[in-house]
Protein backbone atom coordinates (compact mmCIF):
# COMPACT_ATOMS: atom_id res chain seq x y z
CA UNK A 1 0.00 0.00 0.00
CA UNK A 2 2.96 2.29 -0.24
CA UNK A 3 1.89 3.79 -3.55
CA UNK A 4 -1.66 3.61 -4.83
CA UNK A 5 -1.11 5.67 -7.97
CA UNK A 6 -1.15 3.61 -11.15
CA UNK A 7 0.50 4.60 -14.40
CA UNK A 8 -2.19 6.51 -16.32
CA UNK A 9 -3.37 4.95 -19.57
CA UNK A 10 -1.95 6.06 -22.91
CA UNK A 11 -4.80 8.40 -23.76
CA UNK A 12 -4.50 10.19 -20.44
CA UNK A 13 -0.76 10.51 -20.83
CA UNK A 14 -1.25 11.94 -24.30
CA UNK A 15 -3.71 14.52 -23.03
CA UNK A 16 -1.45 15.35 -20.12
CA UNK A 17 1.55 16.00 -22.33
CA UNK A 18 -0.55 18.06 -24.73
CA UNK A 19 -1.73 20.09 -21.79
CA UNK A 20 1.78 20.86 -20.57
CA UNK A 21 3.04 21.48 -24.06
CA UNK A 22 0.90 24.60 -24.12
CA UNK A 23 2.90 26.05 -21.22
CA UNK A 24 6.14 25.04 -22.84
CA UNK A 25 6.50 28.00 -25.14
CA UNK A 26 7.93 31.37 -24.27
CA UNK A 27 5.28 33.32 -26.12
CA UNK A 28 2.35 31.43 -24.69
CA UNK A 29 3.54 31.50 -21.12
CA UNK A 30 4.15 35.22 -21.43
CA UNK A 31 0.69 35.57 -22.84
CA UNK A 32 -0.80 33.59 -19.97
CA UNK A 33 1.06 35.65 -17.37
CA UNK A 34 -0.17 38.79 -19.07
CA UNK A 35 -3.77 37.60 -19.02
CA UNK A 36 -3.39 36.77 -15.39
CA UNK A 37 -3.42 40.49 -14.67
CA UNK A 38 -6.84 40.79 -16.22
CA UNK A 39 -8.66 40.38 -19.50
CA UNK A 40 -7.22 42.00 -22.60
CA UNK A 41 -8.07 42.31 -26.26
CA UNK A 42 -5.91 40.73 -28.94
CA UNK A 43 -4.20 43.85 -30.24
CA UNK A 44 -3.33 45.07 -26.74
CA UNK A 45 -1.82 41.69 -25.93
CA UNK A 46 0.19 41.83 -29.13
CA UNK A 47 1.48 45.31 -28.33
CA UNK A 48 2.31 44.52 -24.73
CA UNK A 49 4.30 41.39 -25.46
CA UNK A 50 5.76 42.57 -28.75
CA UNK A 51 4.18 40.21 -31.23
CA UNK A 52 2.09 40.58 -34.34
CA UNK A 53 -1.67 40.36 -34.13
CA UNK A 54 -1.60 37.24 -36.26
CA UNK A 55 0.86 35.36 -34.09
CA UNK A 56 -1.09 36.20 -30.96
CA UNK A 57 -4.33 35.12 -32.55
CA UNK A 58 -2.82 31.80 -33.59
CA UNK A 59 -1.58 31.17 -30.07
CA UNK A 60 -4.86 32.22 -28.47
CA UNK A 61 -6.54 29.63 -30.62
CA UNK A 62 -4.30 26.96 -29.15
CA UNK A 63 -4.85 28.20 -25.62
CA UNK A 64 -8.59 28.32 -26.16
CA UNK A 65 -8.60 24.83 -27.61
CA UNK A 66 -6.95 23.57 -24.45
CA UNK A 67 -9.44 25.51 -22.29
CA UNK A 68 -6.77 27.72 -20.77
CA UNK A 69 -8.30 30.98 -21.89
CA UNK A 70 -11.78 32.16 -22.72
CA UNK A 71 -12.84 34.81 -25.19
CA UNK A 72 -15.64 37.31 -24.72
CA UNK A 73 -16.75 39.34 -27.69
CA UNK A 74 -17.77 42.96 -27.21
CA UNK A 75 -18.50 44.57 -30.53
CA UNK A 76 -15.47 44.44 -32.77
CA UNK A 77 -13.06 43.45 -30.07
CA UNK A 78 -12.61 40.14 -28.28
CA UNK A 79 -11.42 40.13 -24.72
CA UNK A 80 -9.47 37.13 -23.49
CA UNK A 81 -8.91 36.01 -19.93
CA UNK A 82 -7.68 32.94 -18.07
CA UNK A 83 -10.28 30.20 -18.13
CA UNK A 84 -10.12 29.55 -14.38
CA UNK A 85 -8.02 29.99 -11.24
CA UNK A 86 -6.47 26.61 -11.83
CA UNK A 87 -4.26 28.06 -14.55
CA UNK A 88 -2.75 30.69 -12.28
CA UNK A 89 -2.03 27.93 -9.78
CA UNK A 90 -0.10 25.95 -12.34
CA UNK A 91 1.93 28.99 -13.30
CA UNK A 92 2.73 29.50 -9.62
CA UNK A 93 3.94 25.93 -9.14
CA UNK A 94 6.30 26.38 -12.05
CA UNK A 95 7.59 29.69 -10.75
CA UNK A 96 8.13 28.14 -7.35
CA UNK A 97 10.15 25.32 -8.84
CA UNK A 98 12.49 27.51 -10.86
CA UNK A 99 13.13 29.63 -7.77
CA UNK A 100 14.49 26.49 -6.12
Partner DNA sequence: TGAACATATGAACAGTTATTCATATGTTCG
Partner DNA sequence: CGAACATATGAATAACTGTTCATATGTTCA
Residues of this chain that bind a second copy (CB under 8 A): 3, 5, 7-8, 12-26, 28-30, 33-34, 36-38, 86, 89-91, 93-98
- Long-range pairs of 21-26 with CB within 8 A, sequence gap ≥ 24: 22/62, 22/63, 22/66, 22/68, 23/90, 23/91, 23/94, 25/59
Identified binder of DNA from the candidate list 29, 39, 71, 90, rule CB under 7 A: 71
Identified binder of DNA from the candidate list 33, 41, 83, 91, rule CB under 7 A: 41
Contacted by 91, from a second copy, DNA, none: CB < 5 to 8 Å by type: a second copy
Give the strand order in the sheet containing 40-41. Answer: 40-41, 77-82, 69-74
Q: How many residues bind DNA (CB under 7 A)?
A: 25
Amino acid sequence: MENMVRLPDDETLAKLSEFYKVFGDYTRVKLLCQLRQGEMCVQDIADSIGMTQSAVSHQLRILKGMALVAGRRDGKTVFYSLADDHIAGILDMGLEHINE
